[in-house]
A and B are shown apart, each in its own frame.
Chain A
Amino acid sequence: MTRYFTKDHEWISVDGDVATVGITDFAQNALGDITFVEVPEAGKAVSKGDTAAVVDSVKAASDVYAPVSGEVIEGNAALEEAPELVNTSPESEGWLWRMSVSDAGELADLMDEAAYAAYIAEL
């Protein structure tokens, strides 16, 4: 499984042609306490850069963009009752949705862990 990162602070873990997407620890820390998460429904087709989920915090409502194109397999149903999982475990239990990857070539535009760490160090 390989994990990639976007400049908008999403992470995407790819296993074959299936990927899991969430927001990074840096993102949840910047947003503050998360109060509500709207995840996409299964079957929804998303293009790279589309708004796929919305994360509400006490400070703001933020769009989460699809890092690559594909079709949503499932949203994380646990977040409906426990949106705080995105705060406590952003890069594991607080995942937002799973999706198919229609064009693995799009992953080449994303950052690996080291590149993302260097990116946020400059922010």
Chain B
Amino acid sequence: MNAPNASGWRPEMGEAGAILPATVSGDHGLNLEEKLIFELAAPGTYGVDFDDADVAPAPALGKFLRKAAPALPGLTEPEVVRHYTRLSRQNYAIDLGPFPLGSCTMKHNPRLNEKVARMAGFADVHPLQPTQTVQGALKVITQLADWLMALTGMPAVAMTPKAGAHGELCGLLCIRAALTARGEERPVVLVPESAHGTNPATAAFAGFRVENIPATEDGRVDVAALTARLGPDIAGVMITNPNTCGLFERDLKVISDAVHGVGGYVYCDGANFNAIVGKVRPGDLGIDAMHINLHKTFSTPHGGGGPGSGPVVLSEALAPFAPLPFATLDADGVAHLVEEGDAHDHGHPNSFGRMTAFHGQMGMFTRALTYILSHGADGLRQVSEDAVLNANYILRELEDVLDAPFAAYGPCMHEALFSDNGMAEGFSTLDLAKGLIDEGFHPMTVYFPLVVHGAMLVEPTETESKAGTDRLIASMRSLAERGRAGDVTLKSAPHYTPRRRVDETLAARKPKLVWKD
């Protein structure tokens, strides 16, 4: 059988040199050997018994009538349930252990969020219901919007974008609309090397030409290089702050003033807002637009656990172009959803259009507002402080065994960045990441950002305890020491997973995307 499961290490093969009794089933205790669902299927098996059809198919189907049975696997209901439950046990999740994936802010999702999101008034509503029947849900949106504006010091927010990159697009479409309203065409967006990888992609998608700005030795935007490039062809800059090196861009106000000086706009990637909530208001730094990942900073589930949500806060200059629809409170306190038909009456005639069918990710709004209200302003400030403290703890505990390129320039923000310099010949970041799987942790972000050789970006978040962080540090220290010493067993890690080190190059060059040809 030409199936992906047919190759690679299987549990019954055991460790090289180890004497392990084979099992008939292929399972090793709770280490399950699960076949593909097509391999489990048997012809003629169904989850439901149907009577033989005693009537002819409806003639209206015409040419759409199937000539052959659909190629669906035949299984009973318990077989289907067990298959997916067994697969889910091979997954790793934030509910199983630390998930130090830098730049992703995989923090704990408080269960209070889930309780509130499941309340009938929020969960069992439909976007097309008359607004007088969903006043509470709409007020969640306006109240969350008020919080996001207050926390960022910005006068407006577009709530509809559904993820970080969608928010970036929203911000750049606002910039494009603002330039068009001024009668200008500016083709270039500047993106520093320390920005998120989605930034240049977004700028290109929005029709701008991207030019890179180099980073300085201390991992921040080269302000001299950026200001030297400014001119009448610059639509704006996209800066990630804190940046992907886990560092605060100290010169952002200088940069904003310079960009505004030539008539451009400043987009800030706010994916790392988790590090500065309650400490810094982006509006005070001269930002014109910034997305906020509710699924990172405000603890709504992501990474397979739920959809993202990326509201975009906007400056006075860009607010008139924000997308429709948006929720607003009338003077008498009644919540209202402003659409194309009444945008003019609500003083919003210049919107660039719509990005979504409806008003945004209601389930994420409910969770994020719950998170904000349960923490309060002081609690949110402590979240940032603890996230930064945890990252600096990891940075300082490991800098003697892992090269930390920016550690000498001062503290980091919410993530610690290491390189693979100092490893034995032939050992690299990938080996440490695979070793971390054996240690029972999800690996850190690897080979990003590109400005550091063999980057390892570790983001513990504020929700790990000191004891949990110490366990992660102990594992990383051991792996770093093995890498420095050239321990060959690290080269073949992971050893304790259902599959060993897979051939990622072959998988990328010749992917098999169907279970059989």
Q: Chain B at the A interface: mostly helix, strand, loop or mixed?
A: helix
| 14 more A-B residue pairs beyond the given contacts A33-B504, A35-B508, with a C-beta to C-beta distance below 8 A | A33-B505, A33-B508, A35-B505, A35-B509, A36-B509, A56-B508, A58-B504, A58-B508, A59-B447, A60-B447, A60-B448, A60-B450, A83-B509, A84-B509
B425 to chain A, nearest CB (A): 13
> A residues 70-87 with Cβ under 8 Å of B?
83-84
> A residues 37-94 with Cβ under 8 Å of B?
56, 58-60, 83-84
Bound form: Cα–Cα A83–B509 in Å: 8
- Could you show 8 A-B contacts with beta carbons less than 8 Å apart? A33-B504, A35-B509, A36-B508, A58-B504, A58-B505, A58-B508, A60-B450, A84-B509
Bound form: Cα–Cα A36–B497 in Å: 29
Contacts of A33 in B (CB 8 A): 504-505, 508
Bound form: Cα–Cα A123–B508 in Å: 29
A30 to chain B, nearest CB (A): 8
A79 to chain B, nearest CB (A): 11
Bound form: Cα–Cα A56–B505 in Å: 11
Contacts of B505 in A (CB 8 A): 33, 35, 58
B423 to chain A, nearest CB (A): 15
Residue of B nearest to A82 (CB): B509
Bound form: Cα–Cα A96–B297 in Å: 43
Q: Which residues of B contact A (CB under 8 A)?
A: 447-448, 450, 504-505, 508-509
Bound form: Cα–Cα A33–B510 in Å: 13
Residue of A nearest to B455 (CB): A59
Contacts of A84 in B (CB 8 A): 509
Bound form: Cα–Cα A35–B505 in Å: 6
Bound form: Cα–Cα A60–B429 in Å: 14
Contacts of B504 in A (CB 8 A): 33, 58
Residue of A nearest to B450 (CB): A60
Contacts of A83 in B (CB 8 A): 509
Bound form: Cα–Cα A114–B357 in Å: 60
Bound form: Cα–Cα A36–B511 in Å: 12
Nearest 8 CB-CB pairings of A with B = A35-B508, A33-B505, A59-B447, A35-B509, A58-B504, A58-B505, A60-B450, A58-B508
A47 to chain B, nearest CB (A): 12
Bound form: Cα–Cα A85–B89 in Å: 40
Bound form: Cα–Cα A59–B433 in Å: 13
Bound form: Cα–Cα A60–B508 in Å: 12
Contacts of B447 in A (CB 8 A): 59-60
Bound form: Cα–Cα A99–B312 in Å: 44
Bound form: Cα–Cα A77–B448 in Å: 30
Contacts of B448 in A (CB 8 A): 60
Bound form: Cα–Cα A83–B508 in Å: 11
Residue of A nearest to B508 (CB): A35
Bound form: Cα–Cα A84–B447 in Å: 20
Contacts of B450 in A (CB 8 A): 60
Residue of A nearest to B429 (CB): A59
A93 to chain B, nearest CB (A): 17
Contacts of A59 in B (CB 8 A): 447
A58 to chain B, nearest CB (A): 5
B507 to chain A, nearest CB (A): 9
Residue of B nearest to A84 (CB): B509
Bound form: Cα–Cα A33–B504 in Å: 9
Bound form: Cα–Cα A105–B179 in Å: 38
Bound form: Cα–Cα A95–B516 in Å: 35
Bound form: Cα–Cα A33–B505 in Å: 6
B476 to chain A, nearest CB (A): 20
Contacts of B509 in A (CB 8 A): 35-36, 83-84
Bound form: Cα–Cα A115–B505 in Å: 33
B408 to chain A, nearest CB (A): 20
Residue of A nearest to B511 (CB): A35
Bound form: Cα–Cα A35–B503 in Å: 12
Residue of B nearest to A87 (CB): B505
Binary contact track A8-40/B, C-beta < 8 Å → 1, others 0: 000000000000000000000000010110000
Bound form: Cα–Cα A87–B371 in Å: 49
Contacts of B508 in A (CB 8 A): 33, 35-36, 56, 58
Bound form: Cα–Cα A60–B453 in Å: 12
Bound form: Cα–Cα A60–B505 in Å: 12
Contacts of A56 in B (CB 8 A): 508
Bound form: Cα–Cα A33–B503 in Å: 11
Contacts of A58 in B (CB 8 A): 504-505, 508
Contacts of A36 in B (CB 8 A): 508-509
Residue of B nearest to A123 (CB): B453
A123 to chain B, nearest CB (A): 10
Residue of A nearest to B210 (CB): A51
Bound form: Cα–Cα A58–B509 in Å: 10
Bound form: Cα–Cα A59–B504 in Å: 10
B2 to chain A, nearest CB (A): 20
Bound form: Cα–Cα A122–B400 in Å: 25
A103 to chain B, nearest CB (A): 22
Bound form: Cα–Cα A36–B506 in Å: 11
Bound form: Cα–Cα A57–B383 in Å: 37
Bound form: Cα–Cα A44–B509 in Å: 26
